[in-house]
Amino acid sequence: MLRIRSLRVTAQLADIEMSAEYCAQAGRLRILRDGALVREWFAPNT
């Protein structure tokens, strides 16, 4: 069974919660604001 490796960092700014989530398996970086997707990037080789 493969384990998906991901890292998530969250910061609370006044009344806004910002998160950055990186998935090593997919090479994906996501930026979220209050749980809603703001931006998403993929590594060029994926």
8-46 pLDDT per residue, tens: 999 999 999 999 999 988 899 999 999 999 999 998 875
Query: If 0-12 CB within 10 Å is exposed, 13-18 middle and 19+ buried, where does residue 37 land?
Result: exposed
Domain boundaries, the chain: 6-42
Q: Across the strands, what pairs with 42? A: 28
Question: Does the pLDDT at position 1 exceed 70?
Answer: no
Q: Could you tell me if 18 and 36 are in contact, meaning their C-beta atoms sit under 8 angstroms apart?
A: no
Question: Does the pLDDT at position 4 exceed 90?
Answer: no
pTM, 2 dp = 0.79
| Cα gap 30→19, rounded to integer Å | 8
Q: Could you tell me if 13 and 24 are in contact, meaning their C-beta atoms sit under 8 angstroms apart?
A: no
The pLDDT assigned to 2 comes to 66
The pLDDT assigned to 32 comes to 98
The pLDDT assigned to 24 comes to 86
